[in-house]
Structure 1
Amino acid sequence: MLQINEVMNLTIFRNFRLIAGKNGLNREITNVDILEYEWFNDGFEVFNKGDFIITSLFFAKDNQELIEKSFIRLIEKKISGIAIKTIFFKELPPEILKMADDNQIPLFLFSSAYMEDIIIAVNELLKSKQKYLLFEEKIYDLIDRSNSREKIASSAHEINPHFKNNVITFYLTFYDKTVSPREITNYLNRLFYKQYRGTDLSNISLVKYKEGLMIFYTFTDNEKCDNDIHLCKRILRYFDIPLDLFCTGISNSHKTFTQLDISIQESIYADKVCYIKQKKYLYYSGLDIYSYLIPLMKERSIQTQVDIMINILLEYDKKYTSSLLKTLLAYVKNNGEISKTAAELFQHPNTIRYRLQKVKDLLAPYLDEKNFYEYIFIFMNLYLLKVE
Structure 2
Amino acid sequence: MERIIGHIDMDAFFASVEERDKPYLKGLPVIVGADPENGNGRGVVSTANYEARKLGIHSALPITKAWEYCEASRSSGGLRCVFITSGFSRYKIASCDVFAHVRTFVRTLSQTSIDEAYLDLGFCGSFVKAEKLAAKIMREVKKKTSLTCSIGIGPNKMIAKIASNYNKPAGLTIVTPERMGAFLAPLSIRAIPGIGKKTENAFVRLGIKTVKDLQECSWEDLQQQFGKREFSIWERVCGVDERTVEAQKAKRKSIGKNHTFNTDTRDINEVLDIIKQQIEVILREMKKQGFNEFRTVVLTVRFSDFMTRTRTLTLDTPIHTAIDFELKATKLVFPFFEKAENPTGKAIRLIGVRAEKLLQDKPH
Global fold match (TM > 0.5): no
Greater relative contact order (Cα < 8 A, sep 6+): 2
Greater helix content: 1
TM-score, normalised to structure 1, is 0.26
Bigger radius of gyration among the two: 1
TM-score, normalised to structure 2, is 0.27
